[in-house]
Structure 1
């Protein structure tokens, strides 16, 4: 039995379980309809609609609207462009040949927080002219994932891609094993000169520097060459380990077999509702559970504790619910037959939380739906590896949309931009929610307003330099991408 037949049988078995609403009799009906289309088309050529417009023209109009959702933004000709300066290239030989200084880093958080810190660890190693020892991944206290760097990422690829920028080693050499490292945890947003001034003298003396807690420690506004290095690490060097990459590719291919697909990153887990100070809105009972947990664990609330739930929601600080996502997608032109992959953890409330989305878009799948028996088994109970599979399938999608901000959404925004500005919908929550709460607004007017609000939020090129503090791995133009009218060197 070939792969396509295996996948077809897998989808049919899930249909019977209610994952995909298309039943066998509907498939037969579709086949009968397709055979009848030439006859129907001939009849339509003779027919007029109520307004006197040809029905064929109406049909064409529907097809145009249907295709609009999948239309990609104008990338303005931007392509990856990592041309390092002559000074950077001249200094590289001395940096990679250095055998005196070794930087060790401990990175924390979930997968995409770790990615961000690894990117900055490479840049800090370059700033200090040091070799980088493969980063140590701190066990996540929430997920308990004990995966090491090489379980998640392709270490040899990482080392080889960066061979001309920073020397990467798997462990300290024997000459440095007994050295007591200089330890540090930089404050937020430090500059290269701060790092050199704070650590270089001790580093030269001791030979080993151990840094912890690198999340957002390095300034986002670096010299051009170091911004390019950030991009090189994020978009080229950090490739997932082969077993993870292969399964992610397979699942993405299964989504692609029947045409384009949308990837949604849904942030509807219980801890997300607790931490954001928001409510799932499924029922009074579920809302009460979230409120009680927040009272019992106030330290989980991530800031602005003086705001009410309603104030947070109207300020755009809450994740979109499944109903919000459904209405937004419909307004932006997604059709009922759109194929959707949803990434993320188990929604609080289980399948009930996804009901509005499933009812409107029955072709809704996640990795558990699409994987064949046994395929996910090696990755179960390893949150970072499961998140990596979601990342791969989302990156390869035709359209991506997050229901809330976060590290994964930010990483994918940059990755998709670097790949040619693939469509990325950023929900304009603060401006659109008043219209969502207006029940008297006609659907056509609602849809028109929502489309207008999002016309510049579809993944078009944006200059990182247009706002202070933007991350180049989220906005790679202009330092890491160039076109015929703009060449940054």
Structure 2
């Protein structure tokens, strides 16, 4: 029913109000306007921090919280069936291949292999021929004495072969990838003819699953307790963590927008023709990269490309992180430098690298050794309030696993395939940055933030040894063997 029209008596009365009444109405109106202005300014500030109308505390918990480890904790104690090791007069020598984290996981695998084969492990030699051409020795990167001493009760480790065995014949053995305990029991037959077995490659020598629990827990003790970084690296890493935390909470961003990664994956989205050709040539001349002809568009649409710095900026903004957030970039040299970093920096001005966080004097002993600087990045990433990898590689997997082991610290894994669809909608003008995008991105990543879960098995349809290749890495998620609820073992 429509509202009745005002009567002529009421209209007449309103026209005859005395001047003081009009003044009161004006004053009330001005006061109300001032209140609205101040309230709107406060709301603008809150909206900048909280685009989804959450309370500030709820927003803070959503952005930074990790539910205090969900009640899970490390469990790496030996079972009652675990026998004490013997000092065997047979030796395993190892050359660890790859970058820092590929070598780290390989070394820990070799600790377990030495245990399975009843061998003494000689301190591994590190890869000096990889892409990074790093001349660092084991003791340059790791605390060698701690590594040896902390393995007492598990594996006997020595710094070098006994002199009488230096010229002895050796079995050079490429152990089969992702092998189980029974395989290494068979390989123990080699001891009948040799006292020394040399392993030219250490990466992925052990299966992710179906190993005895004591072997799995040994891998965790080796990775998270024994293989500690050298004192100089530990000191600088912790010092830089303290500098970051002095500004509040921070994100560690593993930004894999580096020349070697873009060339290897064939991802050229956002690059110019000259840069794309440079990456293609690099891929052609790198012998051990078997895939040469790659369709960059298909790679990106399939979610197989690292996010670009611009895409990372859009992603973090959509999740709700304010522009004042401190972001530490854990990476090597970013391809294209400031040309491709400028958009990310415009969204998050507090974007820092180890070169801007540390002094030249502090970095001088590490700067020419990529594995040592990567170790500094690793420490800062593990200790961050939030870790975000732009691509799933050895570093990302190792950091995520370590953070899970330490209490499921918040780790946001971007759904690259899903995000690319949204980014392309923005490019086509079908979607704008704002509340709608934030809602879509937040919903997409609700269950991609490092909460406890069992390790993924192989991909559907995979067969034979390829099935083992597709399993989630043990070091990416050591649950359930090395992580359990408080009070359980």
Superposed pair shares fold, TM > 0.5: yes
Counterpart CA distance in 2 for 1:450 and 1:280 is 21
1:108–1:410: structure 2 CA closer, same or farther, 3 Å change rule?
Answer: same
**Structure 2 residue corresponding to 1:451, chosen from 431, 442, 448:** 442
**Who is 2:484 aligned against?**
482
**Who is 1:328 aligned against?**
315
Counterpart CA distance in 2 for 1:292 and 1:144 is 20
Query: What are the residue-to-residue correspondences of 1:233-248 with 2, within 5 Å?
Result: 233-248=222-237
**Structure 1 residue corresponding to 2:215, chosen from 218, 221, 226:** 226
**Structure 1 residue corresponding to 2:452, chosen from 429, 444, 461:** 461
Counterpart CA distance in 1 for 2:45 and 2:331 is 41
Is the contact made by 1:73 and 1:459 (CA closer than 8 Å) also made in structure 2? no
Counterpart CA distance in 2 for 1:453 and 1:258 is 29
Query: What are the residue-to-residue correspondences of 1:39-438 with 2, within 5 Å?
Result: 47-48=35-36, 55=43, 61=54, 63-64=56-57, 67=60, 68-73=62-67, 75-88=69-82, 91-92=83-84, 95=85, 97-198=86-187, 200-221=188-209, 222-294=211-283, 296-297=284-285, 299=287, 301=289, 303=291, 308-438=295-425
Counterpart CA distance in 2 for 1:477 and 1:405 is 19
Counterpart CA distance in 2 for 1:382 and 1:251 is 18
Counterpart CA distance in 2 for 1:323 and 1:283 is 15
Counterpart CA distance in 2 for 1:281 and 1:434 is 15
TM-score normalized by the length of structure 1:
0.83
Q: Answer with 1 or 2: which has the greater Rg.
A: 2
Is the contact made by 1:66 and 1:335 (CA closer than 8 Å) also made in structure 2? no
1:53–1:64: structure 2 CA closer, same or farther, 3 Å change rule?
Answer: farther
Question: Aligned-residue CA RMSD in angstroms?
Answer: 2.6
Cα deviation, residue 98, structure 1: 2.1
TM-score normalized by the length of structure 2:
0.83
- Please identify runs of 4+ aligned residues in structure 1 that moved more than 6 A: 49-54
Give unmatched runs, 5+ long, in structure 2.
Answer: 1-30, 459-467
Q: How many residues align?
A: 437
Is the contact made by 2:259 and 2:335 (CA closer than 8 Å) also made in structure 1? yes
Is the contact made by 1:282 and 1:353 (CA closer than 8 Å) also made in structure 2? no
For residues 322-380 of structure 1, the C-alpha deviation after alignment (integer angstroms, 9 at most, x for no partner) is 11100110111110000010011111111112111111100010100011231111112
1:180–1:292: structure 2 CA closer, same or farther, 3 Å change rule?
Answer: closer
Is the contact made by 1:231 and 1:472 (CA closer than 8 Å) also made in structure 2? no
1:271–1:55: structure 2 CA closer, same or farther, 3 Å change rule?
Answer: closer
